[in-house]
């Protein structure tokens, strides 16, 4: 099956009892058993739910993997991956990542004796230099949130394999439409489904996709034991969202390209972070591992005062000032005070995330309206 057809049909089976073409929302907490232990494969909805099962099948298919697991949020999915580890284990991760992931690592799991080492993953040598016997996981986010850094997934996974280290790639910014890390050697792909997969800013959800059966069993055990499962209504909404992922992503990419070029040509705009530019540090790697460059863009103004940035952030009319990304509507965000406020300021500045950085999630509205909105706000 080719890529676009997959988005429409992945996980879809006519309902056996009625023929309903859309997977029903099985809004139930439990299932009646014929006799103790005699059931239809469904015992209790934290462990199994048919709507979730259909979604998990779809997630696996569109990420080119064998097994999918859905969670109640992106951070819940990340939480399950880190719970594969034990006290004393070490994780090498990027020095630019979603603030909530950093908070989970540094404020929750550090307390349980897991050590996180933050490096610039644009250069694989930085990862190699930190590998020790205790290293059990390499956590990769690419493109990164919000600086749009690119890590070479294939180079990292081949290094990890030499040392028996698991690699998990947070593929939220690219979505499965643009990048499939499992085909590049990753062991686990993580998604904040909240974003492009849901696509309509109406669901909080996370996902993991993998190929290895043993890893799937361990992660399924954590999913049901810790209980961060999504409800069936949310699974239904994401099944619906996935059916249009390809058409939405095509427009996100087209609009992203137009907005990035507009920003770069604007006399008041300073640095624009978008991997589609040929002079972006990660452009060649992005071209190799992604199908296009997506709709996420960050930028700074030449006047880099926080006050000026705040004025722009409050002046857009179509771009709404909000956290999150990947929905059909365009959003504008101030990482330093919003999505990345949980990272200590000195850490942020050291890694290039300035107080005046502005992040855009370019939606699928008319390009001209988006550019005009940014023009009036910047002017």
Q: Which of 7, 26, 67, 98 is an active site residue?
A: 98
Q: Which is nearer to ligand P1T, 98 or 319 (CB)?
A: 98
For the bound state, the minimum distance from the C-beta of residue 34 to ligand P1T, rounded and expressed in Å, comes to 38
Rounded alpha-carbon distances, angstroms, from residue 338 to 98, 178, 359: 11, 26, 11
Establish whether 373 is a catalytic residue.
no
Distance from C-alpha of 254 to C-alpha of 251, rounded to nearest angstrom: 5
Rounded alpha-carbon distances, angstroms, from residue 281 to 169, 330, 369: 20, 26, 30
Q: Which of 6, 52, 195, 359 is an active site residue?
A: 195
Distance from C-alpha of 26 to C-alpha of 308, rounded to nearest angstrom: 50
Which residue ranges make up the site for ligand P1T (CB under 6 A)? 73-75, 98, 100-101, 141, 145, 170, 172-173, 192, 194, 204, 206, 323-325, 333, 339
Question: Residue of minimal CB distance from ligand P1T?
Answer: 74
Number of separate helices (H) and strands (E) present in the chain? 14, 12
Asked whether the CA dihedral 118, 123, 124, 130 is positive or negative, the reply is negative
For the bound state, the minimum distance from the C-beta of residue 65 to ligand P1T, rounded and expressed in Å, comes to 18
Rounded alpha-carbon distances, angstroms, from residue 175 to 22, 178, 189: 23, 6, 10
Q: Which is nearer to ligand P1T, 23 or 101 (CB)?
A: 101
Asked whether the CA dihedral 166, 283, 378, 256 is positive or negative, the reply is negative
Q: Which of 46, 83, 243, 271 is an active site residue?
A: 46
For the bound state, the minimum distance from the C-beta of residue 98 to ligand P1T, rounded and expressed in Å, comes to 4
For the bound state, the minimum distance from the C-beta of residue 242 to ligand P1T, rounded and expressed in Å, comes to 16
Q: Which is nearer to ligand P1T, 341 or 371 (CB)?
A: 341
Establish whether 102 is a catalytic residue.
no
Q: Which is nearer to ligand P1T, 8 or 233 (CB)?
A: 233
| 64 phi and psi angles, rounded to 5 deg | 60, 35
For the bound state, the minimum distance from the C-beta of residue 341 to ligand P1T, rounded and expressed in Å, comes to 11
Q: Which is nearer to ligand P1T, 75 or 92 (CB)?
A: 75
Enzyme catalytic residues: 46, 98, 170, 195
């Amino acid at each position: 099956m080719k890529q676009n057809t997959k988005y429409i049909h992945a996980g879809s089976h006519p309902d056996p009892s009625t023929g309903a073409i859309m997977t029903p929302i099985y809004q139930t907490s439990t299932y009646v058993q014929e006799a103790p232990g005699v059931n239809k494969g469904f015992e209790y909805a934290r462990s199994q739910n048919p709507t979730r099962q259909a979604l998990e099948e779809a997630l696996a298919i569109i990420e080119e993997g064998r097994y999918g697991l859905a969670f109640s949020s992106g951070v819940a999915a990340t939480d399950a991956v880190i719970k594969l580890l034990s006290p004393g284990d070490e994780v090498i991760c990027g020095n630019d990542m979603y603030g909530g992931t950093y908070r989970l690592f540094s404020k929750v799991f550090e307390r349980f004796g897991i050590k996180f080492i933050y490096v610039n993953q644009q250069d694989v040598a930085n990862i190699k230099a930190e590998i020790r016997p205790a290293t059990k996981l390499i956590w990769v986010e690419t493109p990164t949130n919000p600086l749009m850094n690119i890590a070479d997934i294939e180079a990292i996974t081949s290094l990890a394999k030499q040392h028996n280290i698991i690699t998990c790639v947070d593929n939220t910014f690219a979505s499965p439409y643009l990048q499939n890390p499992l085909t590049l050697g990753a062991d686990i792909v993580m998604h904040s489904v909240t974003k492009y997969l849901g696509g309509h800013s109406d669901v909080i959800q996370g996902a993991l996709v993998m190929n290895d059966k043993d890893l799937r069993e361990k992660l399924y055990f954590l999913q049901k034991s810790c209980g961060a499962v999504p409800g069936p209504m949310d699974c239904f909404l994401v099944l619906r969202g996935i059916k249009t992922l390809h058409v939405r992503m095509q427009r996100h990419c087209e609009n992203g390209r137009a907005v990035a070029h507009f920003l770069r040509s604007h006399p008041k705009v300073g640095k624009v972070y978008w991997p589609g530019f040929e002079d972006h540090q990660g452009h060649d790697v992005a071209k190799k591992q992604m199908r296009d460059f997506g709709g996420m863009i960050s930028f700074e103004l030449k006047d880099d005062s926080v006050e000026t940035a705040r004025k722009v952030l409050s002046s857009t009319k179509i771009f709404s000032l909000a956290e999150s990304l990947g929905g059909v509507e365009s959003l504008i965000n101030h990482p330093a005070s919003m999505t990345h406020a949980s990272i200590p300021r000195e850490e942020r500045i050291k890694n290039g995330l300035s107080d005046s950085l502005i992040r855009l999630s370019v939606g699928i509205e008319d390009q001209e309206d988006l550019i005009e909105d940014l023009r009036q706000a910047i002017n």
